Amino acid sequence: MQENSRPTPNFHIDRKDSHTHARLGQLRLRNGIVQTPAFMPVGTHGTVRGVSSLDLRESGADIMLGNTYHLYSRPGVELIEKLGGLHSFTSWKKPILTDSGGFQIFSLAESRKLTEEGVTFKNKHNGDLIHLNPEKVVAAQEKFGSDIMMVLDECPPATATAFQVAEAVERTTRWARRSQEARTRSDSALFAIFQGGSDLELRRRSLKQLLELETHQDPWDGIAIGGLSVGEAKEKFVGTLFSLRGLLPTDRPHYLMGVGTPRDLVFAVACGVDMFDCVLPSRNGRHGIVMTKLGRMNLLNSRYTDDGDPIEMECPCTTCQTFSRSFLRHLFMIEDALAGRLATIHNIVFFLELMRNIRERIANGGFLEFAVDYLRDQKHYFLGSEKGFTAYPEVYQ
């Protein structure tokens, strides 16, 4: 494992699992402490779709994720800064991580132009051009007052050639250096992102290059694994993540970007990942798909028409404490916006409770047994495409 002689002061590991690479820790940020492993609800535009900051606070979330590209587009950096920064603007007083816009290089590939200087997007809302580069992205996040800033990176698709992935690795390194040099706020953590697709050699190269940048700069406050869950086969995703065990510096948090399902989270924690974000809880919730300890549930199914039980009997979320499956199905049938909000709240709490359970298992030494059972049990799939997947490698060290 990589060790650094200048440990990051805001991250403390309380316990390391003796059988896997799982870690129990605390990440101290300007606006609060994040207990790790942690799941970050995705508030792309400064809010989780249909869910208020009050709902998030009640759910027990420690941290929320926002997206620099989308906030740059609407409402704009200047307006957010004028109104006191992102925390004040969104009425969310806990930590915020802002993604850099690197994922949009992948997801908006048809409407952007990529050069060495940066990337230009066409704003779909008004047709204006949005130009982002490493310096602008850091400056925007500093004006937002983000607790964690992400460097601008190039995220290649799963269909990229080996040459294209290698180019993305090199550009990501050059952009990371520019991001370091552009940073002016020491009270906002700066995370690096390494790329490489499913090629382990390129992954090693990308990580090595980013760590070498620390020679003349402060250490990165965290290391993020980018470029996974971008269309590659499940076997490649799992195999790549498994191969990265033990390669990342042990003195700072490891963040797996844009992932994932409940089983992905359990497996990734066993591989040493500390932080996650994913849109699944909110996106699936808006379509009536919720998760329970007994598996995936589609609230639109007619079997719930007269079901007076909550989504899950022992769930602490306000949805389960207040409403029945029957009423929730009714809301979806009449297309009331409240339906998606209530289902999303449940899903977010489900993910947060899963992470709390994982932390407890690491603390008491029972994580390995829990992880093995969880990954083997087919009822824990969230996406239909996950059903039947059993090719997880052994999670032992």
**Domains of the chain: which residue ranges?**
24-284, 285-376
CA nearest to 103, candidates 140, 137, 64, 146: 137
Per-position pLDDT tens, the chain of length 397: 444 434 455 999 999 999 999 999 999 999 999 999 999 999 999 999 999 999 999 999 999 999 999 999 999 999 999 999 999 999 999 999 999 999 999 999 988 999 999 999 988 778 889 999 999 999 999 999 999 999 999 999 999 999 999 999 999 999 999 999 999 999 999 999 999 999 999 999 999 999 999 987 889 999 999 999 999 999 999 999 999 999 999 999 999 999 989 999 999 999 999 999 999 999 999 999 999 999 999 999 999 999 999 999 999 999 999 999 999 999 999 999 999 999 999 999 999 999 999 999 999 999 999 999 999 998 999 888 888 898 999 887 6
Q: Give the integer Cα–Cα distance in Å for 138 and 182.
A: 7
Q: Give the integer Cα–Cα distance in Å for 143 and 140.
A: 5
Q: Residue 137 in contact with residue 98, Cβ under 8 Å? A: no
CA nearest to 347, candidates 49, 24, 26, 32: 49
Q: What angle, rounded to 10 degrees, do the helices at 367-376 and 337-364 form?
A: 140
Exposed, middle or buried: residue 373 (CB in 10 Å: 0-12, 13-18, 19+)?
A: exposed
Which residues carry out catalysis? 99, 277
User: Domain spanning 24-284 has what CATH number?
Assistant: 3.20.20.105
- pTM, two decimal places: 0.96
